Structure formats: structure tokens, C-alpha cells
Copies of this chain bind each other. A is one copy, B any other.
Amino acid sequence: MRLAPYLFQRLFDLGAAHAFGIPGDVILPLYEALEESPIRPILTTHEPSAGFAADAYARLKGIGVAVGTYGAGALNMVNPAAQAYAEKSPVVVISGAPDIADRNPDLLIHHKVRTFDTQLRIYEQATVASAALEDPATAYREINRVIETVRHEKRPGYLEIPRDMVWAEIAETAARPHFAPRRDAGALVEAMQDITARVNRSRNPVILAGVEIMRLGLRDQLIRLAECYNLPVATSFMGKAVFPEHHPNFIGTYMGAAGHPYSRLVVEGSDCLLMLGAWLTDTETGLFTSAIPRGTLIQVLANEVTVSRHRYDQVGLVEVMDALLERAEIKPREFRNEYVPERTEPQDRSLISAVFLELSRLDDRRYVFTVDVGDCLFGSVELNAENILNPGYYASMGFGVPAALGAGLAAPDRRPVALVGDGGFQMTGMELGTLVRYGVDAVVVVLNNGGYRSLEALGAARKICDIYPWDYVAVARAIRVTGVRVRTAEEFGFALQKACDRQGVSLIEVVLDPGDMSPTLRRLSRRTPS
């Protein structure tokens, strides 16, 4: 059994059929091993994109792989790794390293920063597990420790493989570590009694569902739960799409003062808020404008339950959902849903809202949306769809187009639709060419408002928000991508239809008035003192 072939086979068995990255001289042997493995190497133009693509892939498949050369490669993926950490995406970053045999501290090996382990030290900060595989005797154990920790914690890990270790003979030295989530059956019983009593005692219980529902594959259970007890369901910002928006129990996306007013009314008016897999981040709460008394809260996360001011550590979302559905004696409720989706009327309709309305008409089962930062992110609150990947917490610009690459390869039965602002497109949008190269027929929608307009809405001076204007359609055509520019809702609807009807990658540039804002951003901007 040899090191790199074993590693790649293991990752493939766990669901990684693609690995995103760029070759370099120090990792040529590693790329040889990758080429011989069942994993297909996908080459992006720049490493930050490789990291984002692996992140999107991981969100859909439970594991994503990014490969970068020592120094210049891997250190260009620190930011995507940090995002994967913050947003709980199980990405394995693999880097090469110089031959161990060459490591005289006096030698200046290229790509080396300070010492040979600088890169490992950096990745230790942004991952849940990391290892430099320098010893064949421990490599098997280390590989599995890192991979299993990544899968268990749903956060990134880092493996560094010196050039002369790629083909090293390794042995199955120990049983593969297995990280079963720590559970306490008694704590589950106690927590369920606690939860059941509180829900039953409450006047108007409400569910607030978050992104962990999707990550743990609990969407169907959530629907059953809502129907079983007839509870209203709001979703969080990052949790958009974890509950069907046309469902009679859906009451909107909650974002404090920035979210839908009705969802705010119901959520903040509840005397028992059952938060399922939802995080309390600043964006999730409309920059901390939410007013939820702690005593009304039941927060159930992957591995932890907090009720009011006390916490159960060894209880998790999967078992609580199960128990709520199968064993809990909760009484069904009456509730009249007065939620009206925020689709503004034709006369005052902004183009950005119209774009999201058109996008919401696409057949849900055939598309996956990847959303970049800016008003495409805030505006996506209005998007009615089942599969949405967004960096709603860490909020790194440039995610949209590379994520479409990752999502398209992870879910070949769905067509990716990337929603990206002009600022985000200028960062990583040139991966359009990579989409063509690997036959990922994405539709890329560039919401061009001529700059970092959400930043301006949050108080920035116009001067530092303007960006150099590109002709996005001409840029697309220069790399053999069909492009079209639209200025009205009707033109957009027509262009979207056409892009969806044809094969191949399409770009639609939507020219927005710089003052055109989604309702969410408009509300957020009112909250910001500047």
C-alpha cells in the first residue's frame, strides 16, 4: 500500500470524485498519483477558486478536495479554507512539500517561507486537523485521523506530503479512527422532556430552521415535523432553502430588522422559538437587530442543545429531530399563516427583485444556485429555490463562479446558476473558462451595479466603492462563452429562458441602476449608522 494512492482511494471512496487545484513542480509526483487514482483533477486558473470549488463540492457531497503546491499554491488557499472552517464545510486541503532528504535548514528551497513547517503552522489555525506526512510508520494513522476529524466536525483539514513520501510504502498500522459523536442517552431523555414541556406550555411555538438541516440531510424530517404539529417555520439567512418556500407553514426568512417583516413579527413574538440547526451570526440576525429573549430559546445544533440558559452537550440535531417526530408528545397547533412573499408590485418593482422573481420560476429540481457576496446575497432572500449555496456567514467575495464549478461537478443532474456581483466577478469570474473546459454548463448571472454597492449602502463613501467597469459580455465572448446584456425584467426573463434552453456556459449581465437595492439590503442600510 502506497501513501498517495491510498489517500486518494480513501477520499474517492468517501465521495470525492474530483480534486480542485493547480500543479506545481514540488507536487508533480503527487499529481502523477492523482492522475492514476480514480479522482479526476480539475485545474482552475487560480488557487483561491480551487478552494471555493472544493468548498461548494464538500457542501453537496460531504467531502471536497483541494490540491496546491507548497508555498505559492497552498498559501493561496488559506482564505477558502478559513471560510470552510467558519461555515462548516468538510474540505481536505492537500499540499506537496520538498523532499525530506533535501531539508538542510541552510538550504533555501524555493516556495519556502520561514522554516519548512511554516505552512503547516498556518493551516493549523484554519483547520480542525492537520498533519505533515513525514513518517511512513504513522502516515496511515495520520491520514485517517485528519479525514475522520474533517468528516466528524464538518470542517477543513490539511495534509502535507513531501515529494519523497508520495510513493512511500505504508501499512495499516491501527484500526481506522472512528469519531462517533459523543452521545448520552440519559441527556437525550432529559433534553426531550425539557423541550416537550416548553413547547407544550407555550402559546405560540415557532421553528427557525438553519443551514445544518441541509448539511445533515434533515429537510424531509423538518417538513414532516412542521406538518405533524402544524408549526410555522421561518428559515435563517444561511438556511434559506432548507424548507420549501411554497409550503403553507413557511413564514419567510428571518433576519432581524433586515428580514421579512412578517417573519420578524412571528419569530420575535413567539414565546418558544425552536431553532433547528440555525446559528446566531451577525448576518443571520440582521447585524444583531434581532430581539429574541434568551428564555424563549431552544437551540438545537449538530452536537449540542441549549434550552434557555442551560446546555446539554452530548445531544444532537439528528436524534432530537427523530425524537420530536417519533416519540415526543407534542400537541398540534392551530395557526393562520399571513405570510405574503415579498415580491414587489410591477409599478415599483426594482430590477434586482424582478431578477430573483424570474429565477424563482426555474424548475427547482434541475438547478443549484451558487451565490456570491453583495446584493446578490441579500437579494437571494427573495429567491424561492431548494438548493442554494452561499457564504452567508464568512462572506468572502468571489465564491459564486468557482462554487458553480464545484456544485456542477458534485451534482451533475443539476445545472448551476451562479449569482454574482460585478465586484465578485472581477475576483474569480474568469473561471468561466474552467466551466467550459470541464463541461459544466452553468448560467452565470452578473448583477452589475457598477461597484461595491452594498458596501456603499452600509455607509462607505461612493469613491471607494466604484470599480473599473468591464464589458462583461465581451470578456465572456473573449473566452468563448455566450454572453448577453439585459436592462429590463423582460429582457432578463427572455435571456434566462434562452440560457437554460441551450447547452454550454452562458453569461447574463444585468445592468442595474446603482441605487437599485433588494428589500433586505435596503432594510440593512437603514439600520447602519455608517
Q: Are A126 and B114 in contact (CB under 8 A)?
A: yes
- Complex Cα–Cα for A464 and B44 (A): 11
Interface check A394, CB cutoff 8 A: yes
Chain B contacts for A79, CB-based, 8 A: 47, 71-72, 75-76, 78
Known contacts A28-B460, A282-B107, A475-B479; decide if A112 and B126 are in contact (CB<8 Å). no
Not counting A25-B458, A35-B461, A86-B112, a sample of 4 additional A-B residue pairs whose C-beta atoms are within 8 angstroms of each other reads A35-B464, A86-B111, A86-B114, A122-B125
Contacts of A24 in B (CB 8 A): 455
27 A-B residue pairs with Cβ-Cβ distance under 8 Å, sorted by A, are: A25-B460, A28-B458, A28-B460, A31-B460, A43-B464, A43-B467, A45-B468, A46-B427, A48-B76, A71-B79, A71-B394, A72-B82, A72-B83, A75-B79, A76-B396, A78-B78, A78-B79, A85-B114, A86-B112, A108-B281, A109-B282, A110-B283, A111-B396, A468-B479, A471-B479, A475-B475, A477-B478
Inter-chain contacts of A477 with B (CB < 8 A): 474, 478
Residue numbers in B under 8 Å from A396 (CB-CB) = 71-72, 76, 111
Interface size of A by CB at 8 A reads: 79
Q: Check if A395 sits within 8 Å of B433, measured CB to CB.
A: no
Encoded as 1 (CB less than 8 Å from any B CB) or 0, chain A from 360 to 398 comes to 000000000000010000000000000000000111111
Residues of B within 8 A of A452 (CB): 23
Q: Which of B113, B393, B434 contacts A85 (CB 8 A)?
A: B113
A437: which B residues are within 8 A, CB to CB?
A: 468
Instruction: Answer yes or no: A121 CB below 8 A from chain B CBs.
Output: yes
This chain's copy number in the assembly = 2
Distance in Å: Cβ of A146 to nearest Cβ of chain B = 17
Q: Is A459 an interface residue (CB 8 A)?
A: yes
The 0/1 profile, CB within 8 Å of B marked 1, for residues 412-430 of chain A is 0000000000000011101
Contact pick for A46, options B72, B82, B428, CB 8 Å: B428
Q: How far is the CB of A82 from chain B (nearest CB, A)?
A: 4
Q: Which residues of chain B are near A281, meaning CB under 8 Å?
A: 108-110
Binding site for B on A (CB under 8 A): 23-25, 28-29, 31-32, 35, 41, 43, 45-48, 71-72, 75-76, 78-79, 82-83, 85-86, 107-114, 118, 121-122, 125-126, 279-284, 288, 373, 393-398, 426-428, 430, 433-434, 436-437, 452, 455, 458-461, 463-465, 467-468, 470-471, 474-475, 477-480, 530
Is B436's CB under 8 angstroms from A468's CB?
yes
Nearest CB on B from A530, distance (A): 7
Q: Are A471 and B465 closer than 8 Å at their CB atoms?
A: no
Query: Which of these, B25, B107, B478, contacts A475 with CB under 8 Å?
Result: B478
A393 to B: closest C-beta gap in Å:
6
Among B23, B45, B118, B283, contact of A455 (Cβ-Cβ < 8 Å): B23
Q: CB-nearest residue of chain B relative to A45?
A: B426
Which of chain B's residues has its CB closest to A473's CB? Answer: B478
| Interchain CA distance A155-B477 in the complex, whole Å | 42
Instruction: Enumerate the 8 nearest inter-chain pairs by beta-carbon distance, A residue then B residue, closest first.
Output: A474-B478, A72-B396, A108-B281, A45-B426, A75-B79, A433-B468, A437-B468, A475-B478
Name the distance in Å between A18's Cβ and chain B's nearest Cβ.
14
Rounded to whole angstroms, the CA-CA distance of A128 and B276 in the bound complex is 45
B75 touches A82 (CB 8 A): yes
Chain B residues near A35 (CB-CB < 8 A): 461, 463-464
